[in-house]
Structure 1
């Protein structure tokens, strides 16, 4: 086997050497070919320079018939391979070596009509010359011809330039390196697999040929199975794309209905305050249910999209009230078939509290604590109340239930991680407490046996994001520009600003606004723009970039908690306001 391996290695090596030699020769020939042009151009350039210099030096001497000076110049310029000869107007020949009769006779009989000429190849036996002829003119009278200057350059044999020598040396070194490297590679990649295959075939029993034949016959069936697998995968992907398109449409609808719902909820809430009526209460609850459904669909849509994101951003600004509403909406849907009454109340002063943390972790904490309250309920008609209030420099979230309660001796143990199944409390409380405390807040519990438990989550109030306005600042001469594709939003702003007697201009499309703004620019304009205007329109952020109103630009959106949107609005030095807080927006009016 070793002998066979050596033979194959030698065959590969010879083939490789032969291939490299062919490449080497071919490359060398190309280099030599271009070298000839290089040498020829260099010689022609040098000869032409000498020829031009002689013309300038000889013409004055020839004019005054100073033949000795002319001969001296010709002698100094001529060489073994190149001769310079002058023929004056009376065909007298002046040259450095009169022993060259062939050149003498050729120049004497040269047709003056062929002058000037450059590098004309002529055979003057037994040598071939490249002949250049130029007229010698009187320096003081250029129209007067004194004679002709001839340069006769022998057509020399081949010569190598330094560049070609360097190239050849480089090719030789490269050839040796490639030979040593590629020989090993070819043996490893080609020879060894062939030897292994040969060993395998040598070790096969005689009857294995039949088995191989049977396996070959099964190849078409296996290929068919592969095709079916690809077809099934393709159909799955098509169905997944259809499903995603439907989900996108549903999510868009849920987003769009939240704007009119916000207005409707605001109106009914005010009506409920002034006109207590059971029917109004039913309408208010129905609107909250619709909003819960929309929140659930949008939350599921966002979770699915985030699960496909590789670089998810965890720490960001978000509204704590928005997170609480989302979690409560999820729990209401989850427990819709139970008799649990889940009530949520958010104080208006606390609704605009921004938290910089991990929203997913906050959701987990709230979900665990609400689940604990649910598990502690012992009544068929249990009640869980969740409230969010602002007290001094603290935002307090209270989760209360009318369940079994906790024994006083167990309260400290629960906060330290103790778990009792029947109490519905345990490690979730302990880890939640640690997380809230890392944020600078705290968790406390008060409980009465057979009455219920109250869990308090306290968050320190920090400075709001720089892009969130605490109020809308307007002046008596302000002109309010509202851009939104929802009629109810325009009605809301007109009603909200009616008592301030300021100009309000409404637009429903970006093109309509841009056309108007082009001819009506003013420093008193305040822009209130919806972020999503429609599928075929630019969004409000892009329009703010075009108009660039800075602190007089307000972007209203349901996606105010999107970190990319927050960063973009910060760069513009404009304001970002959540659509869900529109009902509680404050207005400062200055005359």
Structure 2
């Protein structure tokens, strides 16, 4: 396994930390020592000068008071020639300069600097100190002295400090780095032994000097224990993965055959009026042929696993719990009608299923728990098929009545008398079924009442039964479009591995306004073909919409992964057999990717925005 780029060795980590620590020691040490030295030096130097000035001011008191200038002049010259003071002035009480002496010929003007503590002269800083001269408590004058700030001394002191702490910082850096290398050496050598070892039972050789390190020995034992347990679990994991893949293939084969036969039956019913349906039938048989090719993959399924796949109960550990959401119920109805029509319940009966849906009903949404609603629908359709002896009709009507979605399921089966009708809907009461529990209808009534709706049953003996469901409508769920609207001169890209799907879209677009508005329709069956089509359209800056299946056959990448990878969510719609899955809904909602369940593909309206 390659080492991630964001990782580093112990030596590199220690080098980085040593640099940081050395830099901190250098900066803090230099600053603190310099400031302390500067403060102490200023304090000491200023104290010595102040003491000298105090003595001088007392010595000048009598001469200045008597008006003499010989002795004051000698004292002032002595102060200047000593080198401690560069400029000295003695002033009288009226402020006039009585005596002055300077080390250089250039002299500053006392009148301009006497109010300052620091003044600049010849581009150098000077400190000005003033002392009062008093004789018998009478003020007789002042002495001003200016001394140069010792920049050379300060600079020399600072450089000495920098050199000292540079040596200290370098010493610490080298010691820390050496320590890190010594610590990393056994670990590096152990890693080399692991890399070169072919014996999983030992790794660490008994005569290796590394075995004297307790930490490495402990880690070696933990690693061996982990690898032993991994080997024990490997067989179980492989078997679990195999079983999950087999069940998935079995479920897909079942679903594809059912979906193909549903469309074939629909085409046969319309064959007498529309010879184009022959093309659909050919595509159906091609799809069934391709699906049959997958059957050898399920040869290892046990009977229990086959039953689990046929019931659609494949791995659901990752499926989110059923929660309330605004749902397009007509998609559930078409899905359940198609599955019941081709189930074993109708295998020995001639039952015609009709679904009549108004425009308002098709566009309506209701807030339900999707999985529970499909389960309730399945139970209601099962009851209807069981009520028909040999042949009959089950008709479903969907419409919008006073802001309530109305769903009526009517069958012309045996029906019930009034006495029997009063008993149904109670838990534990089953009519005409051996081993029935009566839970199905009771659960449906409870679920609908929890969703704010109702379920009513009416029936007449030997005439049939009608189930009337009423549910409050909710806001439209943007993830489930109820109409496909395209712009003129737009390109429609259909990507699906099923030739039947392409045939259905082709017929749908040819019978709509699509062909009249310069809208191109491009078809692809693989991700590779989809990627090329999309790349060409993007390169030519053409407007398009992608209709892509999620479960493309024999490919690891799904349709939703392709859309997300290409970053074309705003130009794509997922057309999938699992359009009503909670897991798929959660994934699509995070990236705002619309979904069209294949159960309504044939029924969704198509128009052009002009």
Q: TM-score, normalised by structure 1?
A: 0.50
CA contact (8 A) 2:547 2:573 kept: yes
CA distance in 2, matches of 1:277, 1:548: 34
How far apart are residue 568 of structure 1 and its match? 5.7
The number of equivalent residue pairs is 397
How far apart are residue 503 of structure 1 and its match? 3.2
CA distance in 2, matches of 1:413, 1:259: 37
Q: 1:231 to 1:385 in 2, by over 3 A?
A: farther
Partner residue in 2 for 1:559: 578
Q: 1:258 to 1:434 in 2, by over 3 A?
A: closer
Partner residue in 2 for 1:448: 460
How far apart are residue 243 of structure 1 and its match? 1.0
Q: 1:412 aligns with which of 404, 412, 422?
A: 422
Q: Secondary structure at the match of 1:577?
A: strand
Partner residue in 1 for 2:137: none
How far apart are residue 324 of structure 1 and its match? 4.7
Q: How does 1:92-111 map to 2 (within 5 A)?
A: none
Q: How does 1:45-444 map to 2 (within 5 A)?
A: 46-47=36-37, 50-51=40-41, 66=80, 70=84, 235-252=235-252, 268=268, 270-274=270-274, 303-306=313-316, 308-309=317-318, 312-324=321-333, 335=344, 339-347=348-356, 349=358, 354-370=365-381, 372=383, 381-383=389-391, 385-393=393-401, 394-400=405-411, 402-403=413-414, 405-415=415-425, 419=429, 422=432, 426=438, 428-444=440-456
Q: Secondary structure at the match of 1:305?
A: coil
Partner residue in 1 for 2:117: none
Q: 1:520 aligns with which of 511, 517, 540?
A: 540
CA contact (8 A) 1:480 1:502 kept: no
Partner residue in 2 for 1:16: none
Q: 1:272 to 1:441 in 2, by over 3 A?
A: farther
Post-superposition CA distance 1:323-373 (Å, at most 9, x none): 456656766777469745554332354677654312332244334445555
CA distance in 2, matches of 1:490, 1:276: 14
Post-superposition CA distance 1:185-220 (Å, at most 9, x none): xxxxxxxxxxxxxxxxxxxxxxxxxxxxxxxxxxxx
How far apart are residue 561 of structure 1 and its match? 1.9
CA distance in 2, matches of 1:538, 1:345: 34
CA contact (8 A) 1:398 1:455 kept: yes
CA distance in 2, matches of 1:493, 1:284: 14
CA contact (8 A) 1:369 1:429 kept: yes
How far apart are residue 67 of structure 1 and its match? 7.3
**1:474 is aligned to 2:483:** no
Q: Which moved more, 1:415-424 or 1:242-251?
A: 415-424
**1:543 is aligned to 2:563:** yes
CA contact (8 A) 1:348 1:584 kept: no
CA distance in 2, matches of 1:63, 1:517: 98
Partner residue in 2 for 1:214: none
Post-superposition CA distance 1:453-486 (Å, at most 9, x none): 4444344555542233332223443333444455
Q: 2:469 aligns with which of 429, 450, 457?
A: 457
CA distance in 2, matches of 1:450, 1:556: 42
Q: 1:392 to 1:39 in 2, by over 3 A?
A: closer
CA distance in 2, matches of 1:317, 1:454: 26
Q: 1:285 to 1:323 in 2, by over 3 A?
A: farther
Partner residue in 1 for 2:509: 497
CA contact (8 A) 2:322 2:371 kept: no
Q: Secondary structure at the match of 2:377?
A: helix
Q: Secondary structure at the match of 1:344?
A: strand
Unaligned runs of 5+ in 1: 1-37, 72-137, 151-227
CA contact (8 A) 1:263 1:489 kept: no
Post-superposition CA distance 1:479-526 (Å, at most 9, x none): 334444555544544443343242315253343134213322245x34
Q: 1:502 to 1:539 in 2, by over 3 A?
A: same
Q: 1:253 to 1:413 in 2, by over 3 A?
A: closer
CA distance in 2, matches of 1:348, 1:582: 14
CA contact (8 A) 1:466 1:570 kept: no
How far apart are residue 247 of structure 1 and its match? 2.0
Partner residue in 1 for 2:135: none
How far apart are residue 233 of structure 1 and its match? 7.5
CA contact (8 A) 1:372 1:425 kept: no
Q: 1:578 aligns with which of 571, 577, 597?
A: 597
How far apart are residue 409 of structure 1 and its match? 3.2
CA contact (8 A) 1:483 1:530 kept: yes
Q: TM-score, normalised by structure 2?
A: 0.49
Partner residue in 1 for 2:172: none
Post-superposition CA distance 1:246-286 (Å, at most 9, x none): 223344555667887787666555424436999x9999999
CA contact (8 A) 1:354 1:465 kept: yes
Unaligned runs of 5+ in 2: 1-27, 50-74, 86-146, 158-227, 296-305
What is the RMSD computed on CA atoms of the aligned residues?
A: 5.7
CA distance in 1, matches of 2:34, 2:268: 100
CA contact (8 A) 1:353 1:461 kept: yes
Partner residue in 2 for 1:99: none
CA distance in 2, matches of 1:434, 1:402: 25
Partner residue in 2 for 1:587: 606
CA distance in 1, matches of 2:343, 2:506: 39
How far apart are residue 320 of structure 1 and its match? 3.8
CA contact (8 A) 1:473 1:589 kept: yes
CA distance in 1, matches of 2:272, 2:411: 25
Partner residue in 2 for 1:7: none
